[in-house]
Amino acid sequence: MTEKTRTLKFILCWHMHQPDYRNALTHEFELPWTYLHALKDYTDMAAHLERYPNLPVVVNLVPSLMDQLVDYAEQFHEGTWRDPLPALAGHPFAGRTFIGGTPISDRCLSALSCPQDDRSFSGLCPIA
């Protein structure tokens, strides 16, 4: 009796969504979640996809997330921030600035607790 080889057909679907964390009137970011996820989670996912180029994957980014990511990229290139976290993190005294008793640099980097390769967030986090 011969054993049949069975193939599992698999596709990974990643759906990314973030509500718009910007103030509708001032366009300033009120919460840092898109920024922090962009530094860690989204770049980690891209690194995984680079590692397995033949893996069938569908990545879906909702328009509100894409718009915020583009907004952050523009802020980075302009050197002006409408989000208090990266604005404060880029300040020369950021390492000694405290939020809730924790240095701002520790607070920002706590979101980056998993090992990163250089391409994951090189140049994206002003305090890295």
User: Does a structural domain hold residue 107?
Assistant: yes
Nearest C-alpha neighbor of 85 from the set 74, 94, 93: 94
User: Does a structural domain hold residue 128?
Assistant: no
* Domain extent at residue 41: 13-116
User: Does a structural domain hold residue 50?
Assistant: yes
CB atoms within 10 A of CB 114: 9
Residue 5, pLDDT score: 84
User: Does a structural domain hold residue 127?
Assistant: no
User: Does a structural domain hold residue 67?
Assistant: yes
Q: What pairing do the DSSP bridges indicate for beta strands 102-103 and 98-99?
A: antiparallel
User: Does a structural domain hold residue 29?
Assistant: yes
Of residues 85 and 77, which shows the higher confidence score? 77
Q: How confident is the model at residue 104 (pLDDT cuts 50, 70, 90)?
A: low
Task: Name the pTM for this structure.
Answer: 0.64
Number of structural domains (the chain) is 1
User: Does a structural domain hold residue 6?
Assistant: no
